[in-house]
Amino acid sequence: MHGYLKGKKILIGVSGGIAAYKVCEIIRDLTKSGARCRVVMTSAATKFITPLTLETLSEAPVLCELFPETSRSDVIHIEAARWPDMILLCPATANLIGKIAHGIADNLLTCICMATQAPILFCPAMNTQMYLNPIVQDNLKKLRQFNYRFIEPATGNLACHETGIGRLAEKEDILKSMVQVLYASNKLKGIKILVTAGRTEENLDPVRFLTNRSSGKMGFALAEVAALHGAEVTLISGPNNLKPPPGIKQIRINSAAEMAVQVFQIAAAQQIIIMAAAVADFRPKIISPTKIKKKTNLLKIEFEQTVDILATLGQRKGNQLLVGFALETDNQQKNAIQKLKEKHLDLIVLNDPQIAGAGFDTDTNQVTLIDKNENILEISLTSKFEVAQKIFDKIIEMSNSSRDLTPEIG
């Protein structure tokens, strides 16, 4: 998960269903991402998978008994309830769902769920007819009314040799839902945000183009964080192999000219614009209609400038908050501040690709934020998701101080 869950404390409740074996991969991925995991099992769960297996994977003792003989405390459920940042119930059986829906706390896991203030994410998994049973559906509805979170089960082949809804959701979908639970807020609810990401490609002939090494990962992380904070996000991205974050509108482009058209079409309606894309500054003046053949050892290409999208937005903006990126290899802060002023930006994010782990196509980044008052904030090397969070902390702070983000681009 590229550090999204790093340092988070996750309590995983395992109940007695055949899908219990799938939690092994989830725990393994969580620990690899840097999360701290603790597992609580019901007695039925231990019939499907051993506590030793989950203890080895989670690197922490597995809790099973409400009153263990070796415990020094008779309030183990309270201690466990206060520990996590979130609780993942995986798999969540019809029995577990029914007990929590009716306030029944007759084992360690249900007691913890009753006592915790941490958000709880249910991952239902059961036979199709059990899941569709009106009683189970009523229990699910009741829990949703109390703001419990759910990830819907998948449809497919079941352990009972039937086909239908009831399979445990896919691991990647569960991990994404966990990120939603941990980071979602309404800080940017109702705010329209445009993010650009990735590179552009400028055609030279039918088989060749000129481009740069931008992967788009930073822009995609910014779009994801904006959506997690409740914003209405549009992501305009150049060629990449990334899966768009959930809950956003994505527009794909190839060239700088296509990027300019799409940005200018919707810019006026945006309250925050973040230009994280690495847009080509130049393009071939003439695109050959046929493949250029190797006739001599020397090939001359004449270039022309592309539209400066960021500068145009800066000239047109009213109350919008405009954020740009500057990738510099020398005189970094001086050049970034010059760009900030010349292009009428509110905030600029300075990158240095020469720093190990902060270059192109990495999952980490190290940046410097400089606002229009030349206040400087250094963000040390960390995941691009965490960098995006800190950038938005600054954006939200600036938005709150400006009080008015009414779009006024003409």
Q: Where are the domains of the chain?
A: 9-183, 192-402
Helix, coil or strand: residue 363: coil
CA angle 195, 196, 202 (to 5 degrees): 170
Backbone angles phi, psi at 362, to 5 degrees: -105, 165
Both tokens of 206, joined, read 């039918």
Select 9-183's CATH number: 3.30.230.70, 3.40.50.1950, 3.30.1490.20, 3.60.21.10: 3.40.50.1950
- Equal CATH topology for 9-183 and 192-402: yes
Q: What is the pTM of this model?
A: 0.82
172 secondary structure, DSSP code: H
278 secondary structure, DSSP code: B
From 90, 113, 123, 160, active-site residue: 160
Question: Could you give the CA distance from residue 212 to residue 332 in angstroms, rounded to a whole number?
Answer: 19
pLDDT tens, residue order, the chain (410 aa)? 446 788 999 999 999 999 999 999 999 999 998 999 999 999 999 999 999 999 999 999 999 988 877 655 567 889 999 999 999 999 999 999 999 999 999 999 999 999 999 999 999 999 999 999 999 999 999 999 999 999 999 898 888 888 899 999 999 999 989 998 999 899 999 999 999 999 999 999 999 999 999 999 999 999 999 999 999 999 999 999 998 888 899 999 999 999 999 999 999 999 999 999 999 999 999 999 999 988 777 888 999 999 999 999 999 998 899 999 999 888 999 999 999 999 999 999 999 888 888 878 888 999 999 999 999 999 999 889 999 999 999 999 998 876 455 554 44
Tell me whether residue 160 is one of the annotated catalytic residues. yes
Specify whether the CB–CB gap between 224 and 385 falls below 8 A: yes
Q: What architecture (CATH level 2) is domain 192-402?
A: 3-Layer(aba) Sandwich (3.40)
